[in-house]
Amino acid sequence: MYHKTDENDIRALRGIAPGRVFAGSEIGEDYGHDELGGISRMPEVLVRVLTTEEVSAVMAYAYAHDIPVTVRGAGTGLVGGCIAAEGGILMEMTAMNRILELDEDNLTLTVQPGVLLMDLAAYAEERDYFYPPDPGEKTATIGGNISTNAGGMRAVKYGVTRDYVRGLTVVLPDGEVVKLGGKVVKNSSGYALKDLMIGSEGTLGVITEAILKLLPLPALSVSLLAPFETMEEAIEAVPAIIRSKAVPTAIEYLSRETILFAEEYLGKQFPDKSSDAYLLLTADGSSRAAVDGETESLAELCLSLGAKDVYIVDTEERKGSVWTARGAFLEAIKASTTEMDECDVVVPRSAVTEFIRYTKEVAAETGLRLPGFGHAGDGNLHIYLCRDELSREEFELRLAKAFDLLYGRAAELGGLVSGEHGIGWAKKGYLARQSGERLIRLMAGIKAVFDPKNLLNPGKVCQ
C-alpha cells in the first residue's frame, strides 16, 4: 500500500525543493488532468524540480516512504499519461527548461526535459540545424515527447523521436542516477535501455537530461496541396506515391469538413476549399534544383493519380496559410463538439485506404460523428469520436463500441493501438487486449525490474 503524504513528508520535500512544493488547495485544478477529457485526479503534493539532484532526492525520499510519483511535462498529452492516478507526488519538469549544450563536433544538442519543442526547434534552426520530429503540439516538452516517443508529420522521411535520442540521464525510482547511451552514433553495448526508456511514459525512470541528434537544416522545403474529387481517390493515391520511391517529408490528408472547422476556429480562410479531399505533401532538400525536381515529380504523380490540380506552397506566407490550418485541426475539431475522444491508431501504410473506408462504416454503425485527419504517409491516423449532442451515457456506450470496432479492425490489418500519443491511462485496456497476456507480462516484468515498489506513474500502460 502507498503511504498518504502528511505534514512530515511535505516538510521533507520542502527541504529538497524550497519554495517549490505545493500541497492541497495550493495546487491548481489543471494539475489534475491533461488534454484528455473526462478524467481528473489531483495529486497530494506538487513539486517543481530544477535539477537532476533534486529529482534524485525526491525519488529517494518517495522510495523510502512508499509514495507514488507521477512526472508531468506541459500536460499536453491525450491519454491521461501524466495524471497522478494514485495521488502522491506530481513532479513537474517544466522549470528544467535549459538548452545545455550544442555540440557541433558530434551534431548533438543536450537539453533538460522541460524545454518546449517549439523552443528547441527554433534554437536549432537559428543555428542552421534541424531537429526533425514535429508533433503537432509544439508547446509540449521534449521530455514528454521522449516519454511517448512522439512522432509528427515528418515521420515519413525522418522518423520519430526515438530516432533522435542519443543519450539520456535518468533517475531511477530509488533515486540513483544513470546515464543511458551518450553522444555516440553507434551502440551495440548490451540491452537498449535508452530505447526502453523512450516511450515508457514515465513508468520506468525520470528523464532529467537528453542528448538529441541534429541534422543540418535543409536549405528549403516546398509543400504541395493536391485537391481530389473524393477522399477515397486522395487516400488511394498515397500507396502509389510511396511506391514511386519519392521521399516526401510528410503526406497528410485533409478533408474539406476539417478545413472548414479550422477556418472557423482560426477566423482565417484556407487558400482553397473547392474540393472534398486534399493531400498535403512536403519535399525538402539541400538545393533549389533538388527540391524543384522532387516537387515536379510529385506533382506529376498526383495529377496522374487523379488530382484535379496541384497547388504550390513555396513561401513563408503560403506555408503559413496552409500549415497554420493543418496545425489547428485538433483544436478546431475539439471546438466543433461538446466532448471528444481520439483514436491514434497506426496501420501499415498499405492499409490506410481500407481503414479510412472502414471508419465511415463505424460512423454509420455507431451513429457517432468521426472527423479525422492524419499522417497518410506513415499510416498514423487521428480519428476523433465526437459527442456532439449525445447524453454522456449514450456517448460512453457508443464510444466503447466504436473503439472496439476501430482497434479490432486495425489489429486485423496489422496495426497497433497508438502511433504517437501513447497508452497512458485511457488506452491500456486496448493495449492489453491487442498485446495479449504474454506481452503484457513481459512489460510488467520490465516495469518490476526498474520499479519494484511500483511507485512511478502507477496504473499506466501495462498495469
Choices 263-271, 351-359, 391-399, 415-423; region in contact with other proteins by CB under 8 A: 263-271
**Region of 153-161, 176-184, 268-276, 438-446 interacting with other proteins (CB under 8 A):** 268-276
Name the segment binding other proteins (CB under 8 A); options: 99-107, 154-162, 270-278, 422-430.
270-278
Q: Using DSSP, state whether 5 is helix, strand or coil.
A: coil
Q: Which stretch binds other proteins (CB under 8 A): 61-69, 234-242, 313-321, 360-368?
A: 313-321
Looking at beta carbons only, is 125 or 163 nearer to other proteins? Answer: 125
> Which residue, 2, 103, 111, 90, is CA-closest to 48?
90
Q: How many residues does the chain have?
A: 463
Instruction: Pick the piece of the chain touching other proteins (CB under 8 A) from 39-47, 209-217, 267-275, 403-411.
Output: 267-275
Interface pick for other proteins out of 313, 343, 402, 443 (rule CB under 8 A): 313
What does the block give as the cell for 414? 496489422
* Contacts (Cβ under 8 Å, ≥6 apart) of 216: 128, 129, 130, 286
Nearer to other proteins (CB atom), residue 224 or residue 381:
224
Angle, CA 386 vertex, CA 433 and CA 143 arms, to 5°? 60
The answer to whether 204 and 456 have CB atoms below 8 angstroms apart is yes
CB 182 within 8 A of CB 168: no
Q: Please identify, using beta-carbon distances, which residue of 57 and 197 lies nearer to other proteins.
A: 57
Q: Which is nearer to other proteins, 105 or 316 (CB)?
A: 316
- Is residue 26 a contact point for other proteins (CB under 8 A)? no
Among 66, 174, 232, 272, binds other proteins (CB under 8 A): 272
Of 85, 146, 283, 299, the residue at the interface with other proteins (CB under 8 A) is 299
Q: Which residues contact 369 (CB under 8 A, 6 or more apart)?
A: 337, 363, 386, 388
User: Nearest approach, Cβ of 298 to other proteins (angstroms)?
Assistant: 10
Residue 49 interacts with other proteins (CB under 8 A): yes or no: no
Beta carbons within 10 angstroms of residue 316's beta carbon? 7
Which phi-psi region, left, alpha or beta, contains residue 142 (left: φ > 0; alpha: ψ -120 to 50)? alpha
Which residue, 313 or 347, has its beta carbon nearer to other proteins?
A: 313
Q: Which CB sits closer to other proteins, 311 or 450?
A: 311
Distances (CA, A) of 357 to 91, 354, 395: 42, 5, 22
Q: Which residues bind other proteins (CB under 8 A)?
A: 19, 220, 224-225, 268-272, 288, 299, 303, 309-318, 321-322
